[in-house]
Amino acid sequence: MKKKIAIHWFRQDLRLQDNPALYHASQHQNVLPVYILDDLNAGENQMGAASKLWLFHSLSSLSNSLNGKLFIANGNPIEVFQNLTQEYEIEAIYWNRCYEPWRIKRDIQIKEQLFSIGIEVKSFNGSLLWEPWQVQKKDGTPYTVFTPFYRKGCLNAPAPRLPYNLPEKLNLCDISNLDANIKKLDLLPQIPWDAEVIKSWEIGEAGAQKCLTTFLEHGIENYKEGRNFPAQQSVSRLSPYLHFGEISPNQIWSACMGREMTDHMDHFCSELGWREFSHSLLYFNPDITYQNLQSKFDTFPWNSDLTLLTAWQKGQTGIPMVDAGMRELWQTGYMHNRVRMIVGSFLVKNLRLHWKHGERWFWDTLFDADMANNAASWQWIAGCGADAAPYFRIFNPVTQGQKFDPKGHYIRRFIPEISALPDKYLFAPWEAPEHILQEAHINLGKTYPLPIVDLKQSRINALEAFKLLSL
């Protein structure tokens, strides 16, 4: 006699708490939790190296929480399910919805095919505060500007649901040939660069909860201003956990609503609103990962000098604030939000390289790489995205450094070779007199690069090029 089984398909919801699909699946007699690495359908969108590393540890953590009873597979999900249905009596498959275009397309097909062989599929919202189709303008079309999207659209819509409790019972299947070996997914890098990078993170559901608690106890009190200073501990760093679903936005939202509503809290909540906005943009414009949202940018004269790109990627541009950011990314799999804007503006406007190069690099190196956030944010900084701001907003990495890293803690942490420079020259070493450089043991062009581009001239050039677009 075969046991009746419901599958919970884990995707971007690697948690047990507040997991709507898992909660409902748990009401079946037996639950088989499954994770499938699907590089096949992902194609060009398959996870980058940093994401895969995070996933490895996140799955290990999840598998532990499930007493090792997580079924792991590598391949085409429909084939995995077909194989499982041949061996076991699968009653239903549960999952929480994903919103990347390729996943939507795939999931629709899977749902149809499973339906045709008599298996029920139930999907839930486990990743967004509001479904994209729930937040629309009065005329039924999607918002394209953040502020009305969030203030009018989201905040006037029904409040986000409260978090689900843990399933009261969860009878995990003891299937005989359970393949729970995460190693076979080949997620870890060939060259072992990972040990150092994951040091600053506690990956998994418990780590996500700690991260939230720490932020609400220490970071939120000065969030509105403090979030601009990369050397301060004022941002939540919840983004990778949110991407993989080790925590849900509803858990965060609900924790925020349970506290005093200050300006700081309001600002933090609006950042969750930005996440919703990015997902809405991607949902209604599925090609924003490669297509300018504003088509007038299609004729923009991008630079094609890829040696500049390499210097940017390696944190060797000779402009400390930019290099510090790029090295933080490489060394930690993360970059502070303020610095993301600085390095992004620099790539697109000063080096005038296509935003797509930045999008791809971030996709490969960020732990929190997320298709919606990444594409929407790169288009935003490039000026071709959903942005009401003027084209002449070009960040000056020197000014930004002086303003937001005034003591140079951030720069010195990531660029030790110039750490002996006095603050006055730290942000623009090329302006330092020779004797100051000598005292700091710096030989520009040898121990630290000369700037690969003239900030002032490249700004003027970019303004010219952008002006031509609006003609």
Query: Would you tell me which residues interact with DNA (CB under 7 A)?
Result: 137-138, 141, 143-149, 152-153, 228, 271, 274, 337-338, 341, 377, 380, 387-396, 399-400, 403, 455-456, 459, 467, 470
Query: Which two tokens mark 222?
Result: 């000065």
User: Counting runs of H as helices and runs of E as strands, what totals does the chain give?
Assistant: 23, 5
Closer of 1 and 389 to DNA (Cβ): 389
Q: How far is the CB of 376 from DNA (least distance, A)?
A: 8
Are the C-beta atoms of 143 and 137 separated by less than 8 Å?
Answer: yes
| C-alpha gyration radius of the chain | 24
Residue closer to DNA, measured from CB, 190 or 470: 470
CB of 90 to DNA, least distance (A): 42
Q: How far is the CB of 429 from DNA (least distance, A)?
A: 17
At closest approach, how far in Å is the CB of 296 from DNA? 9
Q: Which residue lies nearer to DNA by CB, 12 or 228?
A: 228
Residue tagged 């600002």 (tokens):
267
How far apart, in Å, are the Cα atoms of 214 and each of 99, 220, 222, 235, 283? 29, 9, 13, 10, 32
For the four alpha carbons of 69, 72, 78 and 79, in that order, the dihedral sign comes to negative
Q: Which residues contact 315 (CB under 8 A, 6 or more apart)?
A: 322, 323, 324, 325, 326, 327, 330, 414, 415
The nearest distance, CB 156 to DNA, in angstroms, is 8
| Opening angle at CA 202, ends 129 and 322, nearest 5 | 80
Q: Among residues 181 and 470, whose Cβ is nearest to DNA?
A: 470
Return the number of the residue (96 or 317) whose C-beta is nearest DNA.
317
416 φψ region: left (φ > 0), alpha (ψ -120 to 50), beta (else): alpha
Nearer to DNA, 349 or 354 (CB): 349
Please give the Cα distance from 396 to 390 (Å, whole number). 16
What's the closest the beta carbon of residue 122 comes to DNA, in angstroms? 33
Secondary structure class of 158 (helix, strand, coil): coil
Min. distance of Cβ 464 from DNA in angstroms? 10
* Cβ proximity to DNA, 4 vs 456, nearer residue: 456
243 or 459: CB nearest DNA:
459
Q: What are phi and psi of 348, to 5 degrees?
A: -80, -40
Distance CA 352, CA 453 (A): 10
> Cα(332)–Cα(308) distance, rounded to whole angstroms?
22
To the nearest whole angstrom, how small is the minimum distance from the Cβ of residue 56 to DNA?
Answer: 30
**For residues 371 and 26, what is the distance between their CA atoms, to the nearest angstrom?**
30
Reference 316, options 198, 192, 446, 420; nearest CA is 446
Q: Minimum Å distance from CB 435 to DNA?
A: 22
Question: Which C-beta is closer to DNA: that of 61 or that of 239?
Answer: 239
